[in-house]
Structure formats: structure tokens, C-alpha cells
């Protein structure tokens, strides 16, 4: 047997507030869990960065927990930069006021950018070629096809990806057919659409499949969200059908009317590699419907933390908390 992947990396710092501000605010890492004065954990794709206060971790005595651990002096951590992305990271760090300690060009090829975190730990960005790893997948500066025939959806994706130099074209604009969606999961149908687009265009394809899942209805309408609106896409009819089914279940209180919107994004490269990203917006269902904005089931969906429905929120407000925004955030964090 042999170990093949590092799951966790640990660093130490006494000022966890400063460490969290740095790794979250400067490097854009997602906080997974934090306990003031003890630790803050960050998720990075399929790896974890664990930052501990050594004053606590080195003296902890937990019967059902890990043994004491800590460090004296600075640690070191190297982040992998996308190929061609070192200059962008260096510019980003400098714009955030982070001092670049050293830029090193290695004799056998490859380059490293060194800097420090608030605890003095040595940090580095380097490309995978430094260790002869294959190129890192990215959508930066790429031409891609969005697997949609919906102009509005293309514009939404294109606007989000434009800052990264991405040129987006729709499957509809390329004259590609709309594939039949035969899977019973969002990921399965997103994959069908992306595969059709990448096969027909030869470009990296990005697709999405989304829908409303109502807990009291066993997750329905789910992947059949659009079907409930009928062939004419009558969304008033679809919302009435949801309400009728809820009433038949006796679901009248907010706790009985829980639901979520789900969005699954699928990215497929011409060589067959794929990535899946999911985002959810949790909430409750209101009746009667309210609001004139949005589309689909938006007039009856009240997101958690709001009293207004999606259809009563401005596009800017909705896009900050929507299921698609959350899925796109994961895509951007992974591929740029």
C-alpha cells in the first residue's frame, strides 16, 4: 500500500482572527468551521487547510480527540497556481498589500512566488510543472460553449466569466441540437447536455440543470420541474399544481412547506474530463404567489433569511443568494 493524496495540511498562528482574514479575504479560501481561540478550518476542493492556535492545540487533552500537536517557528505551504496564472496571483497579492518576499526562477524550469501570512508562515505559489505534474485545468482565457438555447442564460454565464478572459458562445448559436434529457438526476441531465455540446463543437462545454425540490412531496418536481409547467411552459399552472399537492398533504405551516432550488453545473473538456458543481438555495413556499420579477417558481419561493419571494427581489439581490450563483461560485473557485 502507499499513500496517494494529502487530505489535510496544518499551520499554526496565535491570532486566528488575522489568519482567517488573510486566508479568507486575500486568498479566497472557504471557511468550513471555526472555533474562536482554537482553530479555523478551510476547504480547498478535496483538501483541507487547518489553522490552529498552538497555545491550545499543543496542550489539548481530549479523550476522544486527536493528540496534542503544535509547531515552533514558521511552517511552509505551497499553493498550486494554474498554468500561466502566477503573474495574476502576484498582482493580486500586491493589490491586497501583501509583500512579495521572493520570486524564484528555478534552474530546471518553473517559478515560485513567496510571501508570508500574518503568523509568519512561509507561503508559495508555483505551477505544477515544477514537479512535472500535467497542466492544471482552467477555463481562463478559453473559448467555451454554454450548452443552452436560452439567450438569457448565455448572457448570465458570459457576464460572470468575462473578467477571466472567457469567450462564451451558446449551443443554439452554433446550430447544435437540444438533446433529450433522460436521466433522473440533475447531474445526469447536465452531463447529457454538456456531452452533446462538447461533441458537436469540439469546445470545452459548460451546462446546467436546475429545478425545485419540495420536501413534503418527496423532492418533486425535481428534474421534472419544467414538465410540471406543461408543453406551453405555463408556470402559473406549475405553481398551482405544487400548491394543490401541498394542500392534499395538509402542508400549511412553513416547516411543512420547506423546499430548495438546486443547480448542477457540468464542465466537460474535449478529452472527456469533467467537473460537477452543485449549489442550493433553501427556503419555504408561499401562497398566493408574489412578485413580478424572476421566472418559473420564483413567485412562490421565499429564500431563508428573507420575507420576500425570489420574484420580489431585484436581479442583483437574487443573484447573490441563488442556487446558480452558489454553483457558479464553486466553479470559479476551482477553475480560475
Q: For the residues of 88-129, what is the DSSP string, one character each?
A: HHHHHHHHTTPPEEEEEE-TTS-EEEEEE-TT--EEEEEEGG
Mean pLDDT for the stretch of residues 147-158: 83
* Longest CA–CA separation in the chain, Å: 73
Distance CA 76, CA 91 (A): 21
Average predicted confidence (pLDDT) for the chain: 91
Q: What is residue 128's predicted lDDT score, i.e. its pLDDT?
A: 84
- pLDDT score of 1: 64
pLDDT tens across 161-196, in order? 888 889 999 999 999 999 999 999 999 999 999 999
Q: Which range among 52-61, 107-116, 217-226 has the greatest average pLDDT?
A: 217-226
Task: Give percent of the chain above pLDDT 70.
Answer: 99
Q: Does 108 have pLDDT greater than 90?
A: no
Say what the pTM is. 0.71
Decide if 209 is catalytic. Answer: yes
Q: How confident is the model at residue 239 (pLDDT cuts 50, 70, 90)?
A: very high
Please report, rounded to a whole number, the percentage of residues in the chain having pLDDT higher than 90.
69
pLDDT tens digits, residue range 53-93?
999 898 877 777 778 888 777 899 999 888 778 898 999 99
Query: What's the full length of the chain, in residues?
Result: 336
- Domains (range + CATH), the chain: 8-65+74-131 (3.10.180.10), 143-335 (3.90.950.10)
147: confidence class by pLDDT, cuts 50, 70, 90? very high
Residue 73: exposed, middle, or buried by beta-carbon count in 10 A (0-12, 13-18, 19+)?
Answer: exposed
Instruction: Give the pLDDT band (50/70/90) at residue 133.
Output: confident
In this prediction, residue 200 carries a pLDDT of: 97
| Catalytic residue chosen out of the listed positions 15, 46, 117, 209 | 209
Asked if residue 147 lies in contact with residue 177, where contact means CB atoms within 8 angstroms, the answer is no
233 pLDDT above the threshold of 70:
yes
Give the tens place of pLDDT for each residue, 268-311: 999 999 999 999 999 999 999 999 988 899 999 999 999 999 99
Separation CA 255–CA 257 (nearest Å):
5
Amino acid at each position: 500500500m502507499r499513500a496517494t493524496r494529502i487530505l489535510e495540511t496544518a499551520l499554526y498562528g496565535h491570532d486566528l482572527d488575522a489568519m482567517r482574514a488573510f486566508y479568507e479575504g486575500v486568498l479566497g479560501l472557504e471557511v468550513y468551521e471555526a472555533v474562536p481561540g482554537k482553530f479555523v478550518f478551510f476547504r480547498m476542493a478535496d483538501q483541507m487547510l487547518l489553522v490552529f492556535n498552538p497555545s491550545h492545540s499543543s496542550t489539548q487533552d481530549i479523550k476522544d480527540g486527536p493528540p496534542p500537536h503544535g509547531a515552533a517557528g514558521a511552517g511552509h505551504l505551497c499553493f498550486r497556481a494554474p498554468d500561466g496564472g502566477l503573474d495574476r496571483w502576484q498582482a493580486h497579492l500586491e493589490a491586497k498589500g501583501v509583500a512579495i518576499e521572493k520570486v524564484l526562477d528555478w534552474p530546471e524550469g518553473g517559478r515560485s512566488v513567496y510571501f508570508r501570512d500574518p503568523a509568519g508562515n512561509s507561503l508559495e505559489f508555483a505551477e505544477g510543472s515544477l514537479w512535472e505534474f500535467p497542466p492544471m485545468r482552467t477555463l481562463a482565457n478559453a473559448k467555451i460553449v454554454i450548452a443552452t438555447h436560452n439567450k438569457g442564460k448565455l448572457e448570465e454565464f458570459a457576464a460572470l466569466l468575462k473578467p477571466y478572459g472567457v469567450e462564451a458562445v451558446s449551443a443554439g448559436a452554433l446550430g447544435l441540437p437540444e438533446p433529450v434529457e433522460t436521466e433522473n438526476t440533475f447531474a445526469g441531465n447536465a452531463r447529457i447536455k454538456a456531452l452533446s455540446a462538447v461533441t458537436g463543437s469540439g469546445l470545452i462545454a459548460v451546462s446546467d440543470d436546475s429545478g425545485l425540490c419540495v420536501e413534503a412531496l418527496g423532492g418533486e418536481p425535481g428534474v421534472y420541474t419544467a414538465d410540471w409547467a406543461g408543453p406551453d411552459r405555463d408556470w402559473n399552472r406549475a405553481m398551482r399544481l405544487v400548491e394543490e399537492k401541498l394542500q392534499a398533504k395538509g402542508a400549511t405551516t412553513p416547516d411543512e412547506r420547506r423546499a430548495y432550488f438546486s443547480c448542477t453545473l457540468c464542465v466537460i473538456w474535449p478529452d472527456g474530463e469533467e467537473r460537477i458543481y452543485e449549489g442550493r438555495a433553501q427556503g419555504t413556499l408561499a401562497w398566493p404567489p408574489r412578485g413580478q420579477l424572476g421566472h418559473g417558481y420564483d413567485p412562490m419561493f421565499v429564500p431563508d433569511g428573507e420575507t420576500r419571494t425570489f420574484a420580489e427581489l431585484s436581479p442583483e439581490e437574487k443573484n447573490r443568494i441563488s442556487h446558480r450563483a452558489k454553483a457558479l461560485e464553486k466553479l470559479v473557485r476551482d477553475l480560475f
